[in-house]
Structure 1
Amino acid sequence: MADAKKTPRHEIMMFNRKKLEISGVLNVESFDSEEFLLETECGFLCIKGQNLHMKNLSLETGQVSIEGYVFDLGYIDEQGGGSKGKGFLGKLFK
């Protein structure tokens, strides 16, 4: 029998730093007009910008669309794959 483990699928498409199409989103942790924090199949993704707003959201399919001016996006990784508690928040608020 083949390995039943699901391979994570996560893609990001950016159009002129003004629109993001993101797949593989598991949860929207927080968002405002300057920052989005998304839990994805490949880790936590932090998006920073100006006048950011969510255009579409479907957690059933894992699709999120964000519009606004994007300054930065990056992943916040957990070392060792442990719990997301103190380590994650410690890195986020460093």
Structure 2
Amino acid sequence: MNYYSKDQAPVTRAPQDHNVRINNRKEMEITGVKEVDSFDNEEFLLETVMGYMIIRGQNLQLKNLDVGSGAVSIKGKVYELSYVDGDSQEKAKGFFGKLFK
């Protein structure tokens, strides 16, 4: 993937790994997060390097967000974790964007 510096010279960055760690369904640590699109206490929509990820649960809270490294920590009771692949990504983003405006 190429990015451009201030002087427009291409800067190549290695692709980032994507890992998910769940501890007792109460805490999650996720790497490879490109963007947190929306969240509330029952659902998170994250854009990761592997596609969009939806996390559903109860009393979910954003514990830590490190934009530089793409790491996110979430606490609360996790019920479901799923990925949205292919053409469904834009539909998911549009659907959740309408819900959380």
Matched residues, number: 86
Number of the residue aligned with 1:65? 73
- Give the TM-score normalised by the residue count of structure 2: 0.74
Consecutive unaligned residues of structure 1, counting only runs of 5 or more, are: none
Task: Give 5+ residue unaligned stretches, structure 2.
Answer: 1-11
What SS does the aligned partner of 1:9 have? coil
TM-score scaled to structure 1, two decimals?
A: 0.79
Show the counterpart of 1:25. Answer: 33
Aligned to 2:49: 41
What is the RMSD computed on CA atoms of the aligned residues? 2.4
Structure 1 residue 89: Cα displacement: 4.5
Cα offsets for 1:10-42 (capped at 9, x unmatched): 000000000000000000000000000000010
The residue number in structure 1 matching 2:24 is 16
Runs of 4+ in 1 over 4 A off after TM superposition: 89-93
User: Is the Cα contact below 8 Å between 1:78 and 1:88 reproduced in 2?
Assistant: no
Identity within the alignment, %:
44
CA distance in 2, matches of 1:59, 1:7: 15
